[in-house]
Amino acid sequence: MLLPTLLCAFIAGASPVPGYDVDSPVDDRQLFLKLEAATAALADKGVGSIGREARLEQCRRTHTDAVRLSAKPSPSGTPLEGSELYRRGAQASVLIGTAYKCNKCTKWHNTLASGFAITADGVIATNHHVAAGTTGDAMGVLTADGRFFPVVEVLATDKAHDVALLRVNAKDLAFLPLRDDAPAGTPIRCYSHPANTFGCISEGIITRYFKVYEPERNGAVFMQITADYARGSSGGPILDPLGNAVGMVASTSPVFTAPSTPAPVAKDAKPAAQATPSQQMVRHNCATARALLELVRPQ
């Protein structure tokens, strides 16, 4: 039956999650070292995870018929407490590690990003720019309860909207339903793994939806929010007050004051110093849940 499955997937009992309270603090060092060691082992063996060439080839896929979304979003109801939104975000989210080698040493390094499950059987949402990284030789995900799963397939991507779906061989994952109709002004929470920090929640609102005409975006629609995040947050879910995923972290774009124009001076006078532009705000740009849904909707 669907209801018990959803209860298990969304609530997943009262077990603590990293960072939830003073009795369950996050050990960032331990978790990141575990992910680094696991992805390095995959890359060394060359088996168990999708290789670089196959992954990049699969990033050309624009649609998948292999995903069945078993949960519908809740458009109304009693808003959840912040602590419950943290729990849901943490239980459904993953830390994504991609092993690569630099040209200065022989060790494996990791690029880090965020993602979240949208089905119990291992479909992970993240960004196209995460899935299509050109240097990685092996990719895996770490859940909040410490389980590691190799990424075995890229199911579909959309470069313009910066979304991707990965597959890991897992069962009974906590996951988030996708809601694609949350309007501007909706309160939201962002759960992600910013700057080598495992699990961080921030709050804000949806400020607007807008079209992007940068190269290769082609007018794609994105969502702008006020909740904070940083590098490593790419792919983290944006939650509405009912625990639905309404979007996903994609990028930031800072806004600076315009540089002032120095006044004219005499030929023999010392030029006036030009004021350094100062940062006024940061636009937080997110992929939409609709862009993810379009990857799995019948064509």
β partners of residue 210: 222
pLDDT values of the chain reduced to their tens digit, one per residue, 299 residues: 333 334 344 444 445 799 999 999 999 999 999 999 999 999 998 888 899 999 999 999 999 999 999 878 988 889 999 999 999 999 999 999 999 998 889 899 999 999 999 999 999 999 999 999 998 999 999 999 999 999 999 999 999 999 999 999 999 999 999 999 999 999 999 999 999 999 999 999 999 999 999 888 999 999 999 999 999 999 999 999 999 999 999 999 888 988 766 666 666 666 666 678 888 889 999 999 999 999 999 87
pLDDT at position 274, please? 67
C-alpha distances in Å from residue 246, one per residue of 46, 100, 166, 249: 36, 32, 18, 10
Write out the two tokens for 253: 């774009």
The strand pairing partners of 248, in sequence order, are: 237, 287
Extract the tokens encoding 129.
């720019």
Structural Rg of the chain based on CA atoms: 21
Nearest to 94 by CA among 123, 115, 65, 119: 115
Nearest-angstrom CA–CA distance, 132 and 163: 10
Q: What are phi and psi of 251, to 5 degrees?
A: -160, 175
Q: What's the confidence (pLDDT) of residue 177?
A: 97
Q: What is the pLDDT of residue 176?
A: 97
Name 82's Cβ contacts closer than 8 Å, sequence gap at least 6: 189, 201, 203
Collapse the DSSP code of 234 into the 3-class scheme (helix H, G, I; strand E, B; otherwise coil) and give the result. Answer: coil
Dmax over CA atoms of the chain, in Å, equals: 85
- Asked whether the beta carbons of 129 and 234 are under 8 A apart, the reply is yes
Architecture label for domain 25-255+281-294: Beta Barrel (2.40)
Please write the tens of the pLDDT for every residue from 126-149. Answer: 999 999 999 899 999 999 999 999
Helix (H, G, I), strand (E, B) or coil at 34: helix
* Distance (Å, whole) CA 151 – CA 258: 44
Do the Cβ atoms of 249 and 229 come closer than 8 Å?
A: yes
pLDDT at residue 287, rounded to an integer: 98
Burial 110-145 (b: 16+ CB within 10 A, else e): bbbbbbbbbbbbbbbbbbbbbbbbeebbbbbbbbbe
User: Which pLDDT belongs to residue 298?
Assistant: 85
- Residue 292 carries which DSSP code? H
Under the phi-then-psi rule, with left for phi > 0, alpha for psi from -120 to 50, and beta for the rest, what region is 122?
A: left
Residue 117 has what pLDDT?
A: 98
DSSP assigned state of 14: T
Q: Which pLDDT does position 6 carry in this prediction?
A: 42
- The span from the CA of 275 to the CA of 284, in Å, is 26
Domain boundaries, the chain: 25-255+281-294
Q: How far apart are CA 200 and CA 231, in angstroms?
A: 12
Which pLDDT score is estimated for 262? 63
Question: Which residues sit opposite 117 in a β-bridge?
Answer: 124
